[in-house]
Amino acid sequence: MLYAASYAPPGVWHSADYGQTWEKNETGPHVHPAFAVLWDSANQCLWAGTEAGLLFWPTGVSAWHIVPELDGSVFDLVLEEDGGLYAVVADQGLFRYRPGEGWTCLYATSRALAIGVSPGGEHLFLGTAGDGVWVSHDAGEN
C-alpha cells in the first residue's frame, strides 16, 4: 500500500496498485491539508502531519486519533529506527517523541519547515523559512 499527503485536495490518499490509481482516505484528516505521512511498521500505524496537528491511525481501528501534545500544523515527520518520531510543528519548532519519555521540544523556532536525519540518527538538520539550517551532531541534545 502506498500513502500520500495532499494539500489540495486536502487529506491522505492511498494506492493499492503502486500508484496507478489513488483513493482518498475518507476518515480522519480528509478535510484538512496534509503535509507529511509515514507508515510505522513497528507500531503498525500510519502517522499524518496535517494542518489540524499530528494524527495517527492504528491498524484495525476505524478512526484516526489526534496527538494532543502537539498543537499546530505539522509540516514534516521522520521515524527513528528505535521507534522515536520527529515532528516539525509550525510556529513552535522541532519535537521528538521517545517511547516511555513522551514529547520533547528539541529546538524552538517559529520558522521550522523540514527535518532531515542521518542514518543512525546522530545528525539532525532542521530547515527553516529564512533562518537557515539548524544542525545537531548529537541527536538533538545540543
Task: Give me the mean pLDDT over the 77-98 stretch.
Answer: 92
Task: Give me the mean pLDDT over the 137-142 stretch.
Answer: 86
Whether the Cβ atoms of residue 72 and residue 53 lie closer than 8 Å to each other: yes
pTM: 0.89
C-alpha grid cell for residue 17? Answer: 496498485
C-alpha grid cell for residue 47? Answer: 502517522
Of the candidates 49, 136, 129, the one whose C-alpha atom is nearest the C-alpha of residue 89 is 49
Beta strands in 81-130 (DSSP E): 85-89, 93-98, 102-108, 112-117, 124-128
Please give the full DSSP string across 25-65, using - where no structure is assigned.
--SSSTTS-EEEEEEETTTTEEEEEETTEEEEEETT-SS-E
30: β partners: none
- Which pLDDT band holds residue 104 (cuts at 50, 70, 90)? very high
Question: Is pLDDT at 133 greater than 90 in this prediction?
Answer: yes
Q: What percent of the chain has pLDDT over 90?
A: 65
Phi/psi of residue 130, nearest 5 degrees: 95, -5
45: β partners: 40, 58
